[in-house]
Chain A
Amino acid sequence: GQSLEQPSEVTAVEGAIVQINCTYQTSGFYGLSWYQQHDGGAPTFLSYNGLDGLEETGRFSSFLSRSDSYGYLLLQELQMKDSASYFCAVSGYNFNKFYFGSGTKLNVKP
C-alpha cells in the first residue's frame, strides 16, 4: 500500500519562508508531486521531482531524497494568497496512479 505523511497545519507570516515536509512509503515509486488547493477549489499542479535534488519554480521549490523517502515544498516570500492546502502525491508505475498525502493547511498571517 501507500502511506504519505505531512504536517496537518502550518502558520507563517507574510514575507517569510515555510517548508512543508512529506515522508512516504510506497511501491513502484516514480516521483513526487506537489499540488495547491484553495478552499472549495480544484487542486493545481505546483512541482514535480523525478530525481533527487531541488527543483525551483519561482517562489516555490521542491526537494526529493529517494534514499530517505522524503521530500519537501519550500515557499518563499509568502503572500496572503498562498493560504491554501498543499498536498504531496506519489506517482505509481508509469504515472497510471497518483496517491495523495493528507494535506497541509498553510495559514499566512499579515
Chain B
Amino acid sequence: GAVVSQHPSRVICKSGTSVKIECRSLDFQATTMFWYRQFPKQSLMLMATSNEGSKATYEQGVEKDKFLINHASLTLSTLTVTSAHPEDSSFYICSARGSMPNVNEQFFGPGTRLTVL
C-alpha cells in the first residue's frame, strides 16, 4: 500500500517559535494532501486541503497566517506553525489522497506530537 511519512514525530518548542512539519508520500505522487489536528480522544479536525502548485484551502476558523501550508512538489507538503503558543499543542496528522481510481481513500502519516511550552 501507499506510504506516507511525517517528520518530526515529536517536537517540543518554546512559545513564540515556529515549527515546520513535513509530510511526504514515499511511493506515489499526491496531488492533494490534507492536514488534520487531533486532540486526545477526539476526532480528526480538517485544517486545510493542500493541492500541489496552488494555495491551500483552509477550513473556517483556521488561521492561514498562523498555519502556513506549502505543497511545492507532488510528494511533499509542509505545515509551519508560526509563533506557536501552548494552545497550539496537539497531534498534527497529514494524509495524501489516493490516485485514480482510489481518490476516495486517504493514506495517513504517523502524525506529529507538538508540545509548546
List residues of chain A with CB within 8 A of the CB of B110. Answer: 41-42
Contact of B49 with A by CB under 8 A? yes
Give the number of chain B interface residues (Cβ < 8 Å). Answer: 24
Contact of A87 with B by CB under 8 A? yes
Give the number of chain A interface residues (Cβ < 8 Å). Answer: 23
Q: Which of B38-46, B63-71, B74-82 forms contacts with chain A?
A: B38-46
CB within 8 Å for A45 and B44 given contacts A95-B97, A97-B49 = no
Q: For residue B51, which residue of chain A has the nearest CB?
A: A96
Contact of B114 with A by CB under 8 A? no
**Are A103 and B43 interface neighbours, CB within 8 A?**
yes
Q: Kindly identify which residue among B44, B57, B108 contacts A44, using a CB–CB cutoff of 8 Å.
A: B108
Contact of B25 with A by CB under 8 A? no
**Are A48 and B105 interface neighbours, CB within 8 A?**
yes
Contact of A60 with B by CB under 8 A? no
Complex Cα spacing A101 to B43, Å: 6
Q: Which residues of A come within 8 Å of B, CB atoms?
A: 30-31, 33, 35, 41-45, 48, 50, 87, 91, 95-103, 105
Task: Kindly list the 5 A-B residue pairs having the minimum CB-CB distance in the complex, ordered from nearest.
Answer: A42-B108, A100-B44, A95-B103, A48-B104, A100-B43
